[in-house]
Amino acid sequence: MDRLKKRADFLRAQKGVRRVTPSLTLEACSGPVQAEPQTLRVGFTATKKLGNAVTRNRAKRRLRAAAAQVLPGIGSAGCDYVLVARPGTLERSFAQLTGDLASAVRAAHLKLDLKGEPS
């Protein structure tokens, strides 16, 4: 898994498919043409509405751990994923968090297939 770090990549994912769960929001889109087609890229974000810096960093750590567990198994190469923290990111158990991520990824893949984009 590679990391999304440029703002343009986050904005492109924002225009793709969005799935909201109690613990996170997943934004997914197909990767750019110049990126390696065999890589899966993921980015993480937490807004200031979530809380102070300590809270936001804790939420992003939980999202990184969930993504490391879930995305290698069901993520699609050539896709970009952005995980946005929600208040439930900190409140739900890790098992619920990974379950939410897995269901959001499956739903996003179905929607990407309907749009004709590779998944």
Closest CA relative to residue 76, chosen from 43, 107, 38, 102: 38
Class of domain 2-114: alpha beta
Residue 113 contacts residue 79 (beta carbons within 8 Å): no
Tell me the mean pLDDT per 10 residues along the chain, length 119: 91 93 94 73 95 96 96 89 95 96 93 59
pTM above 0.85, yes or no: yes
Write out the two tokens for 52. 């102070």
Residue 111 contacts residue 17 (beta carbons within 8 Å): yes
Write out the two tokens for 116. 């004709």
CB environment 108-117: b (16+ within 10 A), e (fewer): bbeebeeeeb
